[in-house]
C-alpha cells in the first residue's frame, strides 16, 4: 500500500486539525482537547471549563475561518462544543479533573468472569452504598476506588431523584492514589491540605479497593497522624473500609478513640470487606479508566470486549460490548437475575456471533470515516480505493483468526484473550 494510503489519517490531522488547534489556541490557550470525528463530520472542542457564549463564538469562528483558508472553500466540517463531563464527585488533583476524551483500544479483549465474583462484588457495592448514607463525606482514591464511587454516586443520584449530579460533589470526593509519584504536590499533601480546609463536627467514610489492603492501611495511618496532631479535628467519627480479595494477616479491624490537640474525641475505625475478586482492579478495560500517575490525571478508557460468564464452570452467557468499562456496573445493577437464569444452547456459536458483531461494528465505523473523508475531499479517489481494499482484507483476516490466533493477555486475577488486529 502506498504511503499516502497508509497515512491518510495523519495527513488529515496535519492538514486540517493541527491548523485548527493553532487558530483556537491563539484565542483560548487553555483549550487542549480538540478532536476530529470523521464519522460525524465534526471537530469537537472540549473546554476544561464552561465557555461564555461570546468566547465560544470567537473560538468557533476562528476554527471555521482556518479550515476555509486551508481548503479554499466553505468548511465541510461542523465545529461543536463538547459539553464538559459532569460527575457526582469532586476530583482533587493539580490536573484539570477527569479527562473527557477516552483512550481507545482497537483490539477486542476477551474476558472470562465467574458469576460468583460478580455477585460478591455486587454485595460489596451494596454494603458500600448503604454505609455511605450514614456519613457526611465519602472519600476514595484513584484508580481502584473509582468504579465503586461511580456506582455509589449514580445510585444516590437516582434514589434522591436529583436533576444535577454536581449537587453531590460536596459529599463525594476522589483523590489520586496515595502512592502516585506526583510533583510538585504529593497525593498525601493534597489530602492533608483538604482535611485542614474542613469545618468541624462531620463524619467521614474513606474506602479503597485492592488485594492485601496496603492502601487502606496507609489511608488509616495518614488520617491517624493528622487527627492526633491537628488543632481541631474536622471529624467526630471516621471509618476506613477496604474492599479486598486477598487474605493478608494484616487485615485486622481496629477501633481507636483519638483526641486532637484540644482534647476533643475522634473515633477512627478500620475494617475490611472481602470479595471473591475485585474484577476492576488494575484492569483498565473493566474499570473503564486509566491513569497518568505522575501528572495526577484520570481519563476514560474504552475497549471492545467479549465477556464469558461462568457459573460453577459452566458458561451461562456471552456478552459483546463496544465500551467494556460500563459492563461491570450494568451487570451488578441490572443483569444479575438474568445471568442466574442463563442457559446457552450453543456456547461456541454464541461466542462467534459476539466477536463477529464487534468486528462488524468496528469495520463499519472505519469504512464510514474513510467514506466521509473522501466525500469532503480530504483523500483522493485512488487513496480511497486502496484503503477500502486494505480495510476489507484486514477485517476479513481478523474474523478468520478470531478463534485460532488469540494472543493471551494476563489480568490480575483472570486470564483474557485479545483478538489480534
* pLDDT per residue as tens digits for the range 235-266: 999 999 999 998 889 999 999 999 999 999 99
Phi and psi (nearest 5°) for 408? Answer: -70, 140
Residues 317 and 415 grouped into a single domain: yes
In a domain, 382, yes or no: yes
Task: Give the span between the Cα atoms of 155 and 187, in whole angstroms.
Answer: 27
Chain-centre distance for alpha carbon 393: 32
How far, in Å, CA of 354 to CA of 350, rounded? 6
Q: How far is it, in rounded angstroms, from Cα 7 to Cα 97?
A: 33
- 280 assigned to some structural domain: no
Per the structure block, which three cell numbers stand in for 150?
Answer: 461511580
The answer to whether residues 254 and 367 belong to one domain is no
Beta bridge partner(s), residue 108: 304, 419
Question: What is the tally of structural domains in the chain?
Answer: 3
DSSP 8-class letter at 166 = G
pLDDT of residue 323: 65
Integer Cα distance of 6 and 394 in angstroms: 13
Q: Which SS3 state, helix, strand or coil, does residue 225 take?
A: helix
**Does residue 13 fall inside a structural domain?**
yes
In a domain, 279, yes or no: no
Domain span including residue 390? 301-419
Q: In this structure, are 262 and 145 located in the same domain?
A: yes
**Pairing outcome for strands 137-141 and 265-274:** unpaired
Q: Would 295 be classed as within a structural domain?
A: no
- Asked if the structure places residue 344 within a domain, the reply is yes
CA–CA dist 81, 59 (Å, integer): 10
Residue ranges of alpha helices (H) inside 304-380 are 327-330, 336-340, 347-375
- pTM of the predicted protein model: 0.76
307 and 411 fall within a common domain: yes
Looking at the structure, do residues 239 and 334 belong to the same domain, yes or no? no
Q: How far out from the chain centre does Cα 361 lie?
A: 22
Distance of alpha carbon 215 from alpha carbon 173, whole angstroms: 16
CB atoms within 10 A of CB 338: 11
- Torsion angle of alpha carbons 54, 60, 66, 72, nearest 10°? -120
Q: Are 112 and 414 in contact (CB under 8 A)?
A: yes
pLDDT value, residue 364: 81
Most confident range (mean pLDDT) of 122-136, 179-193, 316-330 is: 122-136
The stretch 320-346 carries a mean pLDDT of 66
The answer on 361 and 378 residing in a single domain is yes
Q: How far apart are CA 216 and CA 193, in angstroms?
A: 19
Higher pLDDT, 403 or 236: 236
Burial classification of residue 54, based on how many CB atoms lie within 10 Å of its CB (0-12 exposed, 13-18 middle, 19 or more buried): exposed
**Angstrom distance (rounded) from CA 259 to CA 155:** 35
Same domain, 254 and 336: no
Is 108 among the domain residues?
A: no
Query: Rounded to an integer, what distance in angstroms lies between the CA atom of residue 133 and that of residue 265?
Result: 23
Give yes or no: residues 150 and 245 share one domain.
yes
Q: Are residues 255 and 142 part of one domain?
A: yes
- Cα angle: 347, vertex 352, 357; to 5 degrees: 125
Asked if residue 193 and residue 239 are part of one domain, the reply reads yes
Q: β-pairing, 314-321 with 297-311?
A: antiparallel
Angle formed by the axes of helices 214-229 and 187-197, nearest 10°: 40
* pLDDT at residue 4 greater than cutoff 90: no
Question: Where a domain ends, among 255, 274, 293?
Answer: 274
Give 7-39 pLDDT, tens digit per residue.
Answer: 898 999 999 999 999 999 998 888 878 889 998
Helix ranges (DSSP H) in 247-335: 284-287, 327-330
> Highest-confidence range of 49-63, 295-309, 311-325, by mean pLDDT?
49-63
In this predicted structure, the answer to whether residue 151 has a pLDDT above a threshold of 60 is yes
Domain CATH code at residue 249: 3.40.50
In angstroms, rounded to a whole number, what is the distance separating the alpha carbons of residues 311 and 339? 9
Distance (Å, whole) CA 68 – CA 76: 9
- C-alpha distances (whole Å) from 390 to each of 147, 218, 381 are 38, 52, 14
For the cut 80, the answer to whether the pLDDT of residue 417 exceeds it is no
Same domain, 179 and 201: yes
Say whether both 45 and 95 belong to one domain: no
- Domain membership flag for residue 283: no
H helices present in 133-177, as ranges: 146-159
Residue 37's domain is classified under what CATH number? 3.30.70
What is the rounded distance in angstroms from the CA atom of residue 72 to the CA atom of residue 177?
A: 50
Distance CA 115, CA 123 (A): 12
Task: Name which of 107, 160, 155, 106 is nearest 129 in CA terms.
Answer: 155
Residue 52 — pLDDT band, cuts 50, 70, 90? confident
% residues pLDDT > 90 (the chain): 47
Amino acid at each position: 500500500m502506498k504511503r499516502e494510503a497508509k497515512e491518510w489519517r495523519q495527513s488529515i490531522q496535519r492538514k486540517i486539525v493541527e491548523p485548527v488547534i493553532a487558530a483556537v489556541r491563539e484565542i483560548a490557550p487553555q483549550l487542549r482537547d480538540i478532536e476530529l470525528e470523521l464519522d460525524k463530520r465534526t471537530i469537537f472542542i472540549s473546554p476544561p471549563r464552561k465557555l461564555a457564549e461570546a468566547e465560544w463564538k470567537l473560538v468557533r469562528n476562528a476554527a471555521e475561518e482556518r479550515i476555509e483558508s486551508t481548503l479554499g472553500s466553505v468548511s465541510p466540517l461542523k465545529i461543536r462544543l463538547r459539553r464538559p463531563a459532569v460527575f457526582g464527585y469532586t476530583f482533587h488533583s493539580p490536573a484539570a479533573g477527569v479527562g473527557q476524551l477516552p483512550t481507545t483500544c482497537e483490539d477486542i479483549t476477551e474476558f472470562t468472569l465467574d458469576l460468583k465474583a460478580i455477585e460478591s462484588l455486587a454485595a460489596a457495592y451494596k454494603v458500600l452504598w448503604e454505609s455511605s448514607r450514614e456519613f457526611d463525606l465519602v472519600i476514595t482514591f484513584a484508580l481502584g476506588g473509582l468504579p465503586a464511587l461511580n456506582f455509589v454516586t449514580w445510585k444516590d443520584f437516582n434514589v434522591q431523584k436529583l436533576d444535577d449530579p454536581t449537587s453531590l460533589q460536596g459529599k463525594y470526593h476522589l483523590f489520586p492514589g496515595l502512592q502516585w509519584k506526583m510533583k510538585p504536590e504529593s497525593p498525601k499533601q493534597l489530602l492533608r491540605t483538604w482535611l485542614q480546609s474542613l469545618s468541624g463536627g462531620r463524619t467521614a467514610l474513606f474506602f479503597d479497593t485492592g488485594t492485601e489492603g496496603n492502601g487502606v492501611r496507609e489511608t488509616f495511618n495518614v488520617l491517624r497522624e493528622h487527627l492526633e496532631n491537628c488543632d481541631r479535628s474536622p471529624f467526630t467519627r471516621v471509618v476506613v473500609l477496604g474492599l479486598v480479595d486477598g487474605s493478608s494477616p494484616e487485615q485486622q479491624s481496629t477501633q481507636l478513640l483519638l483526641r486532637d490537640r484540644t482534647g476533643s474525641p475522634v473515633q477512627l475505625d478500620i475494617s475490611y470487606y472481602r470479595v471473591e475478586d475485585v474484577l476492576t482492579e488494575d484492569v483498565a478495560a473493566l474499570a473503564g479508566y486509566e491513569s497518568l500517575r505522575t501528572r495526577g490525571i484520570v481519563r476514560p478508557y474504552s475497549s471492545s470486549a467479549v465477556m464469558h460468564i461462568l457459573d460453577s464452570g459452566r458458561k451461562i452467557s456471552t456478552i459483546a460490548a463496544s465500551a467494556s468499562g460500563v459492563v461491570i456496573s450494568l451487570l451488578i445493577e441490572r443483569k444479575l437475575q438474568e445471568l442466574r437464569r442463563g442457559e446457552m444452547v450453543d456456547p461456541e456459536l454464541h461466542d462467534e456471533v459476539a466477536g463477529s458483531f464487534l468486528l462488524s461494528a468496528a469495520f463499519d465505523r472505519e469504512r464510514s470515516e474513510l467514506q466521509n473523508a473522501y466525500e469532503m475531499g480530504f483523500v483522493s479517489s485512488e487513496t480511497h480505493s486502496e484503503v477500502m481494499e486494505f480495510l476489507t482484507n484486514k477485517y476479513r483476516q481478523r474474523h478468520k483468526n478470531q478463534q485460532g490466533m488469540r494472543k493471551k493477555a494476563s489480568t490480575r486475577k483472570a486470564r483474557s484473550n485479545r483478538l489480534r488486529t
